[in-house]
Structure 1
Amino acid sequence: MATSDDAAKARALSSPLRLRILRLCLHQARTNKEIAELLGINPASCLHHVRTLAGTGFLEAQPERRGTRGAREVPYIATRRSWGQRVDDVAPILIETFVQETAALPPEDIEVWRLGLKLNAEHRAEMMDKLRAVVEEYHAMPSDPDGAATSLMIAHHRDPSAD
């Protein structure tokens, strides 16, 4: 049975905008103003989303700093806790997030594979387990200090037209 805490966490992750905020803060702490500028949204609206993510443990405030004009700024870093959080009916949210994140990228910055297969339940489960194991292995590794930030989305769906 899901707790109210689990429900709040699932709601926090049910927004493509919030998922994009987490991605922006994954490798670098950013202030609300920086996040709003990168996303092209109003800072007040952004603050609502940042506070939701911080309140559910997906963003963590870092030590406050002074901005260029002396204003108090609080940078936030992603805690990486979203990876294991269950969210019902998340596929459309993840797909929309992927579309938004890649919309302005040049084609050479996106590598996409698409393959149709016909597998029985055992082979499908085996393939998905292997893919998950590879992703988990890289997720567990520390970030490469000289690495480039990258994102991966794996989607599997049944194709009823091929039955």
Structure 2
Amino acid sequence: MSEPDEAAKGRALSSPLRLRILRMCLHQPRTNKEIADRLGINPASCLHHVRTLVATGFLESQPERRGARGAKEVPYLATRKSWSQHVDDVAPVLIETFVQETAALAPEDISVWRVGLKLNQEHRDDLMGRLRAIVDEFVALPSDPDGEAISLMIAQHRDAAAD
């Protein structure tokens, strides 16, 4: 099977639903039915998205298993390759994914902080580089067996209101 091109990979990651599937399958393999049930979508529609993520290398099928009724089930696990994939104009997709993932959470389950800074390019680059280094350090650690799965989104943007 040939390697999917960059455009196909970008398209695969331009859907909040697909990003949510990747997050669900990050720490625990899940079957198409489990994913569809958790997302509240039709299993056939879910399978289309799962197959797209498998074809682009962002999900991998795991060894088959037997379900409660003896049916064959294929669980899928995220490969983490999406983390280093460039996607054009991804900010709106990431923001929408964040909104969807947090919509049903209690306020105490979300920690958000926001600050306003005035930095030159050198200091902006330094800030974002240092934040990236900290996140990369934790990404490189093995998962804590007793840990709780969390999602982190860090964004910086020009403050048009301050212009």
How many residues are treated as equivalent by the alignment? Answer: 161
| Secondary structure of 2:133's aligned partner | helix
Measured on the aligned residues, the alpha-carbon RMSD in Å equals 1.1
**Is 1:113 aligned to residue 113 of structure 2?**
yes
Do the aligned partners of 2:31 and 2:74 also contact (CA within 8 Å) in 1?
yes
Which amino acid in the other structure matches residue 68 of structure 2? T
Report the TM-score when normalising by structure 1: 0.96
CA–CA distance in structure 2, aligned partners of residues 66 and 121 of structure 1:
55
Counterpart of 2:143?
A: 143
Give the TM-score normalised by the residue count of structure 2. 0.96
C-alpha displacement of 1:117: 0.6
CA–CA separation in structure 1 for the residues paired with 2:125 and 2:95: 22
1:7 aligns with 2:7: yes
Equivalents in 2 of 1:88, 1:157: separation in Å?
16
Name the structure 1 match of 2:25: 25
Structure 1 residues 52-94: Cα deviation after superposition (integer angstroms, max 9, x where no partner): 0011110000011111111111000001110000000000000
Distance apart, 1:132 and its partner CA:
0.8
Residue ranges of structure 2 left out of the alignment (5+ in a row): none
Unmatched 5+ residue regions in structure 1? none
- CA distances 1:10-63 after superposition (whole Å, capped 9, x unpaired): 110000000000000000000000000000000000000000001111000001
Preserved CA contact (<8 Å) 2:4 2:55: no
> Is the Cα contact below 8 Å between 2:29 and 2:77 reproduced in 1?
yes
Cα deviation digits, residues 100-141 of structure 1 (max 9, x gap):
000000000000000011111111111111111111111111
Q: Report the identity percentage.
A: 77
Q: What corresponds to 1:62 in structure 2?
A: 62
Tell me if the contact between 2:4 and 2:56 (Cα under 8 Å) persists in the aligned partners.
no
